Structure 1
Amino acid sequence: MFEYLEITTPTPFQKASIPVIKSGANIFCTAPEGSGKTTTLILTTLQKLKCEEVGTAPRAIVLVENREKASEIYEAFLKYVRHHPLRLYLCDEKLHIDVIKSEVFEGVDILIATPKTLNKLFLLEGINTTQLQIFSMDDAAFLEQKVAHNTMMLLTQSIHKCQFVMYSEKMHPSLKRYESYFMQHARVISTK
C-alpha cells in the first residue's frame, strides 16, 4: 500500500505499538525521538479510517502543540494520503476561525489542530465529534499547559466512543492523570 515510501522494516517501537493500537485500546506510547512515533501515528490513523473518505465529520483528530508542529505533521501525512481519497485538513491559526469552521463543515476525515484552534472550533460548534474514531496527541508533553489541558477536558466530555492515543518521549506525571478521565484502562507501550 505504501511501497513508494520504501518502508521495509518496522522499528522496535512500531512492532510493540501498532498491534495494540489496532486493537482499539486507549494507549500511552512512549519512546525516544527517532523511534517511529509519527509514522506509527500516521499508519494507524490511516488503517483505522481504512483510507476511505466517509461523511463530513472528522473521524480522526491529531492534536499538536503549536502551528509549526501542525505543519510538520500535515506534511508527513501528505506523503501517505496523496494517492487516497482521504480528506486531510490543517487548522492553520493564521486563518480566521470562521474560515476554518466553514472549511471543516465542507467535510474532512483527518483534522490536525492545536489546542487553541480546536478549542475555538468546539466553542463555536464548528466541529462535530460524533463520528470520531481516533484522537491522537503527538508529543503529548504539551498537555501540561493549562490551555491544552482545559481543551482536552472540555472536548473529551463530548466524545462518547473514541480511541485515544498519546505519544510522548517519556511518561509525564501530568499525562497519567488523564487515566481518571478519558484514558480509562489505557495500556502503556514503552521502548527505550
Structure 2
Amino acid sequence: MLFENLNIIDPILKALKDEGYTSPTPIQEQSIPAILEGNDLEGCAQTGTGKTAAFAIPTLQLLYGKKRVEKAPIVIKALVLAPTRELAIQIEESFTSYGKYTGLKNTVIFGGVSQRPQTEALKAGVDILIATPGRLLDLMQQKYISLQHIEFFVLDEADRMLDMGLGHDVKRIIAKLPKNRQNMLFSATMPHKISRLMDSILVKPIKVEVTPVSSTIDTINQKVYFVEKRNKKALLIHLLKDKSFESVLVFSRTKHGANKITGDLVKAGIEAQAIHGNKSQSARQLALSNFKEKKIRVLVATDIAARGIDVDKLSHVINFDLPDVPETYVHRIGRTGRAGAEGVALSFCDAEERELLTDIEKVISKSIPVVEDHPYIISNLSSITSTSSAVKNKDVRKKAYAGKSRQSSYFRKNKKSS
C-alpha cells in the first residue's frame, strides 16, 4: 500500500515525498480514508505508530478542498488539542511539513512562554490551531481566539490528557465548539474514563485499533537489569561507554532525580541534558533540539516532559526508575522502535521495584528477559528473580492489578512533581 492509493491530493503527496514517506502505517492506512469520507474517528494505537499523520493528512486535505471552493477569510477551522507543550510542538511541525504546498496556515500555542508571539500569529490568521488546554482557555478569555468556525476537532493522547487532570479544561473547550463538526480522538490506551469522554464527543465513529491495548511494539528489544539502587548510576555510565548507544532517552521518576542523573553523566564526560517541568520552555526546547541534532547523546526526562518527544532513530530508552503506573512503561519505551524501526528498551530494577516490574509484565503479557552478565548485578539475584511470575494471560490482570484507581491517585499526587 502506498500513500498514492489513499486518494491523497498532489500537494500533500509531494510534501510526503519530500519527507521520504511512501507507505502509510496501519493506523494511517485505516484512518485516512475514514476521515476523508467525513466520519468521526476513534483511534487506538500505541505511541510511535504514526498517529499524527493519521489525522494531519486528511485534515489538511479536507481544509484545502474547502478553501479552494469557498475562498473565505482565514479563520480557525481546525483545532488540535494536545496534553503537553512538546507534543503540541511536534504536531505543529508535522502540519507544517505535510501542508507546505497547500497554502494553509497553522500555529501552535502553549503556556510557559510569552503569549505575544502567539497572539501575533493568531492576528495574522491561521487555518489550523494546535494548542494545550491551559493556554487556549487563557487566550479565549482574552478574546484572541474564537472557536465558532471550527469544523475539525482532534483530541490527541486523550488518556494522558485525563491522567494529567486536564479533563475539566477539555470539557470547557468542547462546550465552546460548534455542534456540527467532525471529531477525531486518539489514545494509546482505552480505559473506561476514555470511553465516557468518547461518548460525549464522537458521533457514530469509525473505530480503528491497530495494536492491542497496553501492548509493546515487537521491534523493541526489551531487557531488565537487576541492580541495587546505589549502583544504578554506575551501571548507567558503564552502559553508555558502549558507542552503539547513539541516542539515549533516560527516564527518571522525579525532576530532582533527572537533574542528579544529568549531573552525574556530565561529570563522567557524557554529553547529557535534562528536560522536566521545572525547566523553562526555552531550556526544554534547547535540550530537545540539541538531542535531535545529535549535539548531546543523552536526554534525561520525566514522564510528562517526555510526552511527545519524537526523535528519528532513537536507539535506546533506559528506565533508570521504573514507573509506578505500568501503562506508563508502554508509553516510555514507545519512544524507540518507531515507524517499524528497531529499538532497545532497558530497565533498571532494584529490590524495592520488583513489584512494579511484575505489574509491568502483567500489563504487557510477557516476561522481560533478565541481563545477568553485568558488573553491578544484585548479589542475591536468585531470591529476587524467584518472585517473578509474569502473567501471560491478560484476563488475570483484572484480578491482579486494580490499575485505574492507582493510576488516578498517582497522577494527582505527582502532577506537580513530574
Question: Which band: TM-score by shorter chain?
Answer: 0.7 to 0.9
CA RMSD of aligned residues (A): 2.2
Larger displacement relative to structure 2 (146-155 or 8-17)? 146-155
Correspondence for 1:37: 51
The whole-number CA distance in structure 2 between the counterparts of 1:129 and 1:17 is 25
- Say whether residues 1:128 and 2:146 are aligned partners: yes
The whole-number CA distance in structure 1 between the counterparts of 2:101 and 2:206 is 33
By relative contact order (CA 8 Å, sep 6+), the higher-ranking structure is 1
Correspondence for 2:61: 47
Correspondence for 1:167: 186
Give CA deviations for 1:22-49 in whole Å, capped at 9, x if unaligned. 2222221011223221111210121121
Give the TM-score taking structure 2 as reference length: 0.42
Correspondence for 1:23: 37
Query: Cα offset for 1:128?
Result: 1.6
The whole-number CA distance in structure 1 between the counterparts of 2:116 and 2:19 is 36
- Say whether residues 1:152 and 2:170 are aligned partners: yes
Gaps of 5+ in 2: 1-9, 212-418
Residue 204 of structure 2 is aligned with which of 182, 185, 192? 185
Gaps of 5+ in 1: none
Larger radius of gyration: 2
Q: Is the 8 A contact 1:26 1:164 kept in 2?
A: yes
Give CA deviations for 1:129-151 in whole Å, capped at 9, x if unaligned. 22211111222212314752122
Query: Cα offset for 1:57?
Result: 1.9
| Runs of 4+ more than 6 Å apart | none
The whole-number CA distance in structure 1 between the counterparts of 2:26 and 2:152 is 23
Query: Cα offset for 1:63?
Result: 1.0
Instruction: Tell me the amino acid that sits aligned with residue 189 of structure 2.
Output: K
The whole-number CA distance in structure 2 between the counterparts of 1:125 and 1:180 is 30
- Say whether residues 1:13 and 2:32 are aligned partners: no
Query: Cα offset for 1:88?
Result: 1.2
Q: Is the 8 A contact 1:115 1:147 kept in 2?
A: no
Give the TM-score taking structure 1 as reference length: 0.87
**Seq. identity, %:** 26
Query: Cα offset for 1:102?
Result: 4.6
- Say whether residues 1:103 and 2:117 are aligned partners: no
- In structure 2, the CA distance between the partners of 1:50 and 1:84, relative to structure 1 (3 Å rule), is closer
Instruction: Tell me the amino acid that sits aligned with residue 187 of structure 1.
Output: I
Aligned residues: 192
Q: Is the 8 A contact 1:25 1:186 kept in 2?
A: yes
